[in-house]
Chain A
Amino acid sequence: MTYITTTQDTLFYTLPFLIPVVGGILILMLDLFAQSDRKHYLGYLATIIQVIALTTLLYTLFQGEDLTLFDGLIELTGTTLIPAAMVLLSGIFTTLTSINYLERHKIHIGEFYTLLLISITGLLLAITAAHLFLLFIAFEIFSFGCYILVGFLRGSPLRAEVVVKYFLPGALFSLFFLFSIALIYGQSGSLYFASVTTMTPHRLLFPISFILFLFPMLFKIAIIPLHQWVPDIYQGAPANVVMLISTGIKIAIFTVLLRLLPPMIEHFKNPRFWIDILLILGLITMILGTLLALVQQNLKRLMGYSTMIHSGLIIMGISAYLVSPDQALKTALFTYFFIYLLMNSGIFAIISILEHNHQGTDLKDLAGLHQFSPFLYGIFILLLVAMVGLPPTGGFIAKLFLFKGIYLTGISSIGVMTAIGLTIISSIIYLRPILHMHQQPTEETTAPKLLGGDYLVLTVISVGIILTGIIPGPLLSLINHFTGQ
């Protein structure tokens, strides 16, 4: 671990965080003076800003050195930089698809991109933080951005419901998080992640602080019993904001859990008990997500429950990682994050193209998609096949390695078998949209308008999914190389 002390170096290595913030403020200023029919240029500017930030981040990653900034507040290692790059990628997908979405909904508000960029910065900080209070601040930054973004559809009847259902529990669980930090500080005397490892836990206070810490995290990734917001927010929020909520935020929280749970769980006298609780929560989330997704009539609600299945599986992977911190399992988890990011972003990109004022996202609205838009139809089918986890797509590779990793740790063979069984059942969920696509449309439907950004995102995602499915070696060895200790 190299400590960065000089101002120039600190500035250089903080560029991935600085560029989105400064870019966001720049967009805020440009928005004031831009004509309302030229607001889409701000979207392209936001994309360029994120691409530059991603480039500087990848430069730091490929230097292959573990860095510490600001006296240990921020850690730039492979384990933090790889999910940070994924979050930026998620941000780029979200920005590119929102240009078309905002144009179609006549929302000429440049602040959308500012909020998006600032949320992305919060996510990057949350991933790379090595200090509990910085983690809390970052958590608040991206949460605030998203509270506003989910209610961006003006005049939508679902808007108030969405904002309240996301904001109130989110704010409450932020308080839980803060209280948990206070309790941990009482036991360790410091807020650095390193002191969580070395502290002497209190018999009663430590379990309380652990449970309180889990609440906000499990809320954001929608693990039972904190999943009730999922279908309503997924249905009511703009589809590309949901894209960010379901990919970027989840990847960030999973990374935080991967970094903080192993040192925390060691302090328990009986760690296996707590790991089993996490495992069972993950399993129940998978079961309930599968069962509820089977009966949904709205594509966005269906995808909401589908992301719960993925979250449950990843939580199972994380609890297996807590039993035996195995490098192969860690690689499998990060590979799963990446491929999940591609699949989910792709599906929500398509939904955002089809959606108009909350219309067009019911399953029956998909009827005749192969006639009026063969491009969307082909990519949609590819993505759904990847979601099921069939070869030759990346979905198969992700599931294969994760199941193998979980099984080899020997955490619970019954749990793994149940999860595999649920994956087979979940193929019905993803086949239902395909079934609806082939029905005759009841009314005349027009082809949705696609902009360059949408074509770019969908092409990149489908190429990525096929490539990771056919030649997964480079991706796996890259992640394995950088996340290794």
Chain B
Amino acid sequence: MKTERTRYIIFEILSSYEITFRELIYTIWREISALFGESGSSKTGLWLTALKNITLEEETNLMKELSKLHIYRGSLRTNHQSTNIIRTALAFISDINGKPACFSVLRISGTMKTVQKKYLAGNSIQ
């Protein structure tokens, strides 16, 4: 059997409410199951590895006017064959536990080092 090649999907979430780790992982699994079925979702080997609130770090003059907007950045671990499935499922998510949110994938990386160094510096697991 071939070894699975790991991929880390770095994503960003814009939401008007605070989001928890549990809510997020539940929403992602629900969306993958809804679009690709239980069989499809079982093949993804999905794992939410990091989630970090970066709202304050990213604050600009314009952002200050929108105090209600929260920005989160996180990473998902999956296998190289499922990156498109995950990307599509994330694009379809428009709310997390009833809280309006918008996902965008920033990058897909092969190593955790890049994820931590470039996108999620510091302790990120909530």
Chain A partners chain B: no
Q: Which residue numbers of A lie inside 8 Å of B, CB to CB?
A: none
